[in-house]
Copies of this chain bind each other. A is one copy, B any other.
Amino acid sequence: MTVGKEEKLILVTNDDGLYAAGLRTLLEVIEEFGKVVLISTMESMSGMSQALTVKTPLRVKLLEENEKHRIYACNGTPTDSIKLAVNQLLERTPDWVVSGINHGANASVSVLYSGTMAAALEGCLYGIDSVGFSLNDFSPTADFSVCKKYIRIVMKHLANHPLPKGICLNVNIPSVPKEEIKGMKICRQAKGNWKEEFEKRKDPMGKTYYWLTGLFQNHEPDAIDTDEWALTNKYVSIVPVSVDMTAHEYISDLKKWFRK
């Protein structure tokens, strides 16, 4: 694969592994915009957040190369994959980092746990325009074709409106037939959390173990400017996400109290 000077170089990853249907749909659409380097793991890395691999070495293997893309397998987290690609594998800094399409929504506080969005945040930390796409359907056989139109719209937008430093996009697509989608909405992250998070079981030796599970609670189901509301009401949600986690609005209160 050669990347022309005028061509975009696009780094693609996900957290559901190389054989996920969502990743294959993303690759198909994103190749319309430039040359693609895809890097992901053989197995799923869901819920890895922005985890780094520090205790074991990372390995990378070139699996496939043609005139449109190169595909690497890596044994690290989505964040490791982005770091490794940008630092060691790419011919130059990519123009975009695109992650997904995740099997399952990454709305509300899921952004904190998501490997898909961590990859976008990692791209963003390198100063690269980055987006994560997710479909609100966890099943391995989900129909991702509904996503294509919205990926094209978002990437065309990005081509004309580069993102400010430190901001990436979190795009969630409802899992409904194409014709039922009402449009796209710019949103904020809904307030919420997870409850009833474990299933307690006994192993064959009679010892207790726990499986992580859980139900999402939306703390503000009536707020119409959130990503959760958009998804529930069949809109594609777009949330601008910041790598700056400072609660700026609370700084002046804290300053008042800590001034002895």
Contact = CB atoms under 8 A, between A and B. Distances in A.
Contacts of A164: 247, 250
A186 B258 contact: yes
Interface residues of A, number: 73
Contacts of A54: 46-47, 212
A200 interface: yes
B47 A210 contact: no
A136 interface: no
A251 B189 CA distance: 11
A241 B248 CA distance: 8
A222 B125 CA distance: 20
Given A80-B212, A186-B255, A197 B244 contact: no
Contact of A84 (B188, B191, B198): B198
Contacts of A77: 51
Main secondary structure of the interface of A (DSSP, over half): mixed
Contact of A83 (B157, B197, B207): B197
Contact of A49 (B57, B118, B191, B197): B118
A196 B86 CA distance: 10
Contacts of A157: 257-258
A57 B245 contact: no
B189 A244 contact: yes
A159 interface: no
Nearest to A241: B245
Contact of A60 (B83, B210, B212): B210
B243 A210 contact: no
Contact of A245 (B80, B112, B251): B112
25 contacts: A47-B51, A47-B53, A48-B49, A48-B52, A49-B118, A50-B50, A50-B113, A51-B77, A52-B212, A57-B209, A58-B209, A58-B212, A59-B207, A87-B196, A112-B121, A125-B193, A157-B257, A163-B250, A166-B191, A167-B250, A188-B244, A189-B244, A189-B245, A238-B254, A245-B245
